[in-house]
Amino acid sequence: MLKANFHTHTERCNHAGCSDQRYVDVAIEAGIETLGFSDHSPYVGFEGDYYSFYRMRPEQLSDYVESINSLREQYKGRINIHLGLEAEYYPQLFPSLLEFLKPYKIEYLILGQHFLDDDQNGLYVQRVSTEEDMKKYADQCIEALETGAFSCIAHPDIVGMDRAHPAFRREMIRILECANRLDVPVEVNVLGISGNRIYPCEEFLRLCRLCNSRVIIGVDAHLPDRFLEREAIEKAYAMIEKYGLEITDEIDTTRFLRYYEANT
């Protein structure tokens, strides 16, 4: 049974629903003992409708932080709550994001690289189909992890590259080796299973085996009821078991704060 989930969204990102408290209540009902919130991080410097679907707006961050921190207090002794964010790594914009996030004492970042290059004008990673773009995806994930700011990599196999292409294998191995080196668990994504998405895929799991990766199950909940979808969660366990992967239910929730200490 799932004891911990660090991949949880809130309605602030505009494509998730329900109150923050409802996620906590349903997580408890599902037997989860540690719940990390990781809504889609605001990014500063964007204009227009960029915020309308993918992420909270910068001015929503303080409400998010206050809400999660107050739930942490309210539910003390019943469930452990952590405060995180899921963020892309956009090389040009990342330094200003870090500056922006600094006062909020976010405990962890998970890397969810949904676009290449520096923003939503870059290629959506599920459209990656060439060797060149596959390498770019891997380079960007590796550069992200090497900043030392990320505690987990969400759905590394969200990238659309043909699984049978040698570049998928080659570049995914680079990502997995980097995650190993930095002691960052890689996620087996439950939303991908329940949504019949291209991830998590067998080839990715095979490569996790090859690289001795440490994996973590992430519900990627955009609705609280996702915690109760036992079939999809059990399927994730079965996939992990099939490939004999090492599983963890912990991520480093001090790494991001340490990152600031090391970089000031």
- The residues of the shown chain that bind Zn ion, judged by CB under 5 A, are 86, 220
Q: How far is CA 140 from CA 77, 195, 254, in A?
A: 39, 26, 23
Q: Which contacts qualify for 44-53: CB closer than 8 Å, 24 or more apart? A: 44/93, 44/96, 44/97, 44/100, 45/93, 45/96, 46/119, 46/120, 50/119, 50/120, 51/14, 52/14, 53/14, 53/15
Phi, psi at 196, each rounded to 5°? 50, 40
CB of 197 to Zn ion, least distance (A): 12
Nearer to Zn ion, 112 or 178 (CB): 112
CB of 114 to Zn ion, least distance (A): 8
Nearer to Zn ion, 13 or 239 (CB): 13
Nearer to Zn ion, 53 or 130 (CB): 53
CB of 36 to Zn ion, least distance (A): 11
Nearer to Zn ion, 37 or 169 (CB): 37
Nearer to Zn ion, 20 or 220 (CB): 220
CB of 40 to Zn ion, least distance (A): 6
The residues, any chain, with a CB within 8 Å of residue 52's CB and separated by 6 or more, are: 14
Residue nearest to Zn ion (CB): 220
Residue with tokens 């494509």: 15
CA dihedral 178, 249, 34, 44 (to 10 degrees): 20
CB of 154 to Zn ion, least distance (A): 6
